[in-house]
Amino acid sequence: MPTIDEILSQLSRSTFRQRFCLGRVEYDYCLNKGEAVVRQHASDFIQQRLSAAIPANDGKQTPMRGHPVFIAQHATATCCRGCLSQWHGIPQNQPMTAEQQALAVEVISAWIHRQMQKPALPPKKTIKKKAKPDASGQLDLL
Closer by beta carbon to Zn ion, 40 or else 85 = 85
Site for Zn ion in 72-91 (CB under 5 A): 79-80, 83
- Is 113 buried (19+), middle (13-18) or exposed (0-12) by CB count in 10 A? middle
Least CB distance to Zn ion at residue 39 (A): 20
Q: By C-beta, is 73 or 115 nearer to Zn ion? A: 73
Residue 140 exposed, middle or buried by CB count within 10 Å (0-12, 13-18, 19+) = exposed
What is the nearest approach in angstroms of Zn ion to the Cβ of residue 14? Answer: 12
Q: To the nearest whole angstrom, how small is the minimum distance from the Cβ of residue 123 to Zn ion?
A: 29
For Zn ion, the closer CB: 69 or 83: 83
Q: Which of 107, 54, 111, 42 is nearest to 81 (CA)?
A: 54
